[in-house]
């Protein structure tokens, strides 16, 4: 076969491989019991070669999951050497330091066999709503308080499920049926990946994937390095402060660009918190790499090759490299801020590619309580309402409103939450004037009001940020609006920790807006007028921020 035909064949097989893992991810999404997975896509699915290189990832999924699993596969292979794997085996963990950063993420690895020989491994993960303990939230002071811990374990041995493990999982959650269903959903996810890969290998007469994996990873790495070498070489520093828990958290980043890649050093970042907002380093690396990729190589597929030129370091014991048994349940509050941190460095190198700061970390509402008349605690509800804020303005466009950047998950439909918990949403709408003014306006946050329709109270396990320190604007653009949590006709409540919402009270949520870019007086007057007509900007704000008299 000529070199040209070989390249075409590899490209066709690469595209087919992406289709394989996308069906893998869609299987998980369609069969999951937890709303945060089936409705919001808080999951990931990938295929790896026998060297532990990610060959392809499903489009459905989050960077924190996908890029963390690029490292997790090595931990699985260390605990379960390839030569010991047998067809029908399945391996599992939720170890935050060997998985994707906190106990709520179950990670499964399934070896794939073709003609009796191991040819690849499939990994998938999904966020499990309730794993016992304090579960989601930032109140824990060590990881043991945060729920059931599953070490590197064999979930199935040559097709026989470890029933003892399944019973332990069911016994340590408020949602045993959901958790058992989600477990089998994860099993099915990897199983369909294995089936489709074997079908592909038969169709293309492949005995192994070594040549294809080399082509994917080598070409992707070369493409990313080519983009990096277009940038000026040197080192740049940036810093950012967010609310944190007991103290504000300060990020410090030094980015070094060389011919060999990009390295980010977080020396000088705040020490680990006493509470569960700490980040295992794998999650830090995941969102660091994602942020840089968004600017440097957004059109290059994400795999082991494209991730290789981007590295990071953080002092052990800082909030971005917490060590066990540090509490990490709400690690997303810190970790999802990292694209904004690296953008601070990138803005000095390529300002025409970098957005302003946004809400960044998800404003997921972790809501728990008892149903009316439940004095024995037998009818407990536990639900996650994925909520988003505004993204930062882009260099040539407004920021996206109510968008989960950088996580990429979708918001939970209120109909789903209201069907699974005794809650009613009195308001869920865009938050006017929350997007930071600028030539390009920041995206808007949301206003949400929730009450228990059965007339009893409920709890929120809050894990939110950008309430004290707003997303910053850039190049003359103004900051986005600060976030807010409170009780209707009452006082504000804290941004972190478990807090009660009294019977008859409404939880009020104002998610932050994104920062703007450029002088607001340079904004197109027609765009301001359109925002006023749409109710996104008030007439008073149009006058104050843009110097324009516009009637609603």
The pLDDT tens digits along the chain (552 residues) read 678 888 899 999 999 999 999 999 999 999 999 999 999 999 999 999 999 999 999 998 899 999 999 999 999 999 999 999 999 999 999 999 999 999 999 999 999 999 999 999 999 999 999 999 987 889 999 999 999 999 999 999 999 999 999 999 999 999 999 999 999 999 999 999 999 999 999 999 999 999 999 999 999 999 999 999 999 999 999 999 999 999 999 999 999 999 999 999 999 999 999 999 999 999 999 999 999 999 999 999 999 999 999 999 999 999 999 999 999 999 999 999 999 999 999 999 999 999 999 999 999 999 999 888 766 556 788 899 999 999 999 999 999 999 999 999 999 999 999 999 999 999 999 999 999 999 999 999 999 999 999 988 999 999 999 999 999 999 999 999 999 999 997 889 999 999 999 998 999 999 999 999 999 999 999 999 999 999 999 999 999 999 999 887
* R_g over Cα of the chain: 24
- Asked if 369 and 458 count as a contact pair (C-beta separation under 8 A), the reply is yes
The CA distances from residue 55 to 87, 306, 375, in Å, are 21, 10, 52
The CA distances from residue 360 to 207, 291, 466, in Å, are 44, 11, 9
Cis-peptide, bond into residue 325, ω within 30° of zero: yes
Give CA–CA dist 102/95, Å, rounded: 7
What does DSSP say about strands 365-370 and 458-463: parallel, antiparallel, or unpaired? Answer: antiparallel
Largest pairwise CA distance in the chain: 75
Give me the DSSP letters along 497-543: EEEEE-TT--EEEE---PPPBS-GGGS-HHHHHHHHHTTSS-HHHHH
- Asked if 257 and 232 count as a contact pair (C-beta separation under 8 A), the reply is yes
Write the burial class of residue 319 (CB in 10 Å: 0-12 exposed, 13-18 middle, 19+ buried): buried
Give me the DSSP letters along 148-182: ----SEEEEETTEE-HHHHHHHHHT-S-HHHHHHH
Phi and psi torsions of 310, nearest 5°:
-110, 120
The CA distances from residue 81 to 59, 111, 112, in Å, are 29, 11, 14
Give CA–CA dist 480/173, Å, rounded: 38
| Matching residue, tokens 């789903």 | 416
- Asked if 28 and 124 count as a contact pair (C-beta separation under 8 A), the reply is yes
The CA distances from residue 518 to 285, 478, 489, 540, in Å, are 31, 8, 37, 20
- Asked if 273 and 245 count as a contact pair (C-beta separation under 8 A), the reply is yes
Phi and psi torsions of 119, nearest 5°:
-120, -20
Give CA–CA dist 529/532, Å, rounded: 5
């Amino acid at each position: 076969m000529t070199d040209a035909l070989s390249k075409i064949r590899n490209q066709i097989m690469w595209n087919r491989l992406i289709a394989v893992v996308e069906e893998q991810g869609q299987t998980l999404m369609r069969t999951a019991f937890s709303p945060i997975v089936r409705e919001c896509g808080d999951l990931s699915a990938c295929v790896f070669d026998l060297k532990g290189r990610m060959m392809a990832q499903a489009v459905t999924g989050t960077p924190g999951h996908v890029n963390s699993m690029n490292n997790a596969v090595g931990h699985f292979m260390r605990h379960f050497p390839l030569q010991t794997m047998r067809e029908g085996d399945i391996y599992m963990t939720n170890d935050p330091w060997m998985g994707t950063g906190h106990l709520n993420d179950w990670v499964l690895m399934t070896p794939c066999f073709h003609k009796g020989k191991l040819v690849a491994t499939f990994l998938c993960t999904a966020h499990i709503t309730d794993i016992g303990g304090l579960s989601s939230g930032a109140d824990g002071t060590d990881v043991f308080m945060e729920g059931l811990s599953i070490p590197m374990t064999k979930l199935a041995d040559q097709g026989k499920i470890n029933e003892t493990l399944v019973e332990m999982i069911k016994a340590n959650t408020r949602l045993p049926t959901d958790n058992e269903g989600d477990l089998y959903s994860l099993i099915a996810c990897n199983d369909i990946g294995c089936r489709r890969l074997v079908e592909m290998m038969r169709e293309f007469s492949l005995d192994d994937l070594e040549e294809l994996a080399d082509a994917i990873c080598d070409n992707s790495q070369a493409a990313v390095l080519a983009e990096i070498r277009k940038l000026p070489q040197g080192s740049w520093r940036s810093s950012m402060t967010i609310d944190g828990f007991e103290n504000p958290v300060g990020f410090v980043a030094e980015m070094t660009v060389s011919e060999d890649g990009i390295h980010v050093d977080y020396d000088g970042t705040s020490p680990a918190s006493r509470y569960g907002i700490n980040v295992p380093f794998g999650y830090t690396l995941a969102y660091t790499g994602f942020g840089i990729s968004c600017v440097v190589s957004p059109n290059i597929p994400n795999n082991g090759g494209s991730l290789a030129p981007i590295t990071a370091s953080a002092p052990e014991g800082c909030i971005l490299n917490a060590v066990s048994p540090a509490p990490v349940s709400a690690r997303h509050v810190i970790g999802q801020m990292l694209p904004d941190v690296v953008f601070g460095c990138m803005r000095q190198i390529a300002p025409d590619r970098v957005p302003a700061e946004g809400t960044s970390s998800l404003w997921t509402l972790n809501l728990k309580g008892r149903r009316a008349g439940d004095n024995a605690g037998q009818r407990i509800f536990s639900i996650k309402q994925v909520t988003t804020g505004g993204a930062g303005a882009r260099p040539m466009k407004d920021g996206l409103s109510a968008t989960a950047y950088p996580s990429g998950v979708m918001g939970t439909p209120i109909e789903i939450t209201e069907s699974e918990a005794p809650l009613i949403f009195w308001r869920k709408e865009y938050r006017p004037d929350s997007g930071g003014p600028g030539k390009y306006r920041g995206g808007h946050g949301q206003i949400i009001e929730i009450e228990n329709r059965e007339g009893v109270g409920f709890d929120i396990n809050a894990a939110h940020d950008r309430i004290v320190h707003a997303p910053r604007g850039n190049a003359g653009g103004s900051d986005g609006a600060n976030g807010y949590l409170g009780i209707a006709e009452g006082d504000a409540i804290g941004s972190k920790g478990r807090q009660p919402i009294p019977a008859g009270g409404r939880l009020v949520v104002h998610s932050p807006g994104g920062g703007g870019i450029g002088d607001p007086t340079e904004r197109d007057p027609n765009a301001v007028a359109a925002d006023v007509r749409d109710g996104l900007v008030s007439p008073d704000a149009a006058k104050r921020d843009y110097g324009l008299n516009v009637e609603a």
